[in-house]
Amino acid sequence: MIIRPHKPEDAVILFQLFYDTVHKVNIQNYSQEQVDAWAPENFDIKRWQERTKSYFIFVAEDDSGITGFAELEENGHIDCFYVHHKKQGLGIGGKLMSELEQKAKDLKLTEIYAEVSITARPFFEKKEFKVTQKQEVVLRGQSLMNYKMSKSLGK
Number of other CB atoms surrounding residue 145 within 10 Å: 13
The pLDDT tens digits for 138-154 are: 999 999 999 999 999 97
Residue 75 has pLDDT above 70, yes or no: yes
pLDDT-based confidence at residue 8 (cuts at 50, 70, 90): confident
3 state SS of 38: helix
pLDDT-based confidence at residue 51 (cuts at 50, 70, 90): confident
pLDDT at residue 102 in the model: 96
pLDDT at residue 47 in the model: 82
Residue 68 has pLDDT above 70, yes or no: yes
Structural domains in the chain, sorted by start: 2-114 (3.40.630.30)
Count how many residues are written for the chain. 155
Q: Report percent pLDDT > 70 for the chain.
A: 99
Q: Report residue 63: phi and psi, to 5°.
A: -60, -25
Residues with Cβ within 8 Å of residue 124, at least 6 apart in sequence: 114, 116, 149
Mean pLDDT, the chain, as a whole number?
A: 94
Query: Residue 2: which H helix or E strand, with range?
Result: strand 2-5
Please say whether the beta carbons of 135 and 146 come within 8 A: yes
Residue 155 has pLDDT above 90, yes or no: no
Q: Bridge-partner residues for 117, per DSSP? A: 146
pLDDT-based confidence at residue 128 (cuts at 50, 70, 90): very high
pLDDT-based confidence at residue 49 (cuts at 50, 70, 90): confident
Please say whether the beta carbons of 150 and 111 come within 8 A: yes
Residue 45 has pLDDT above 90, yes or no: no
Distance, CA of 139 to CA of 135 (rounded, Å): 13
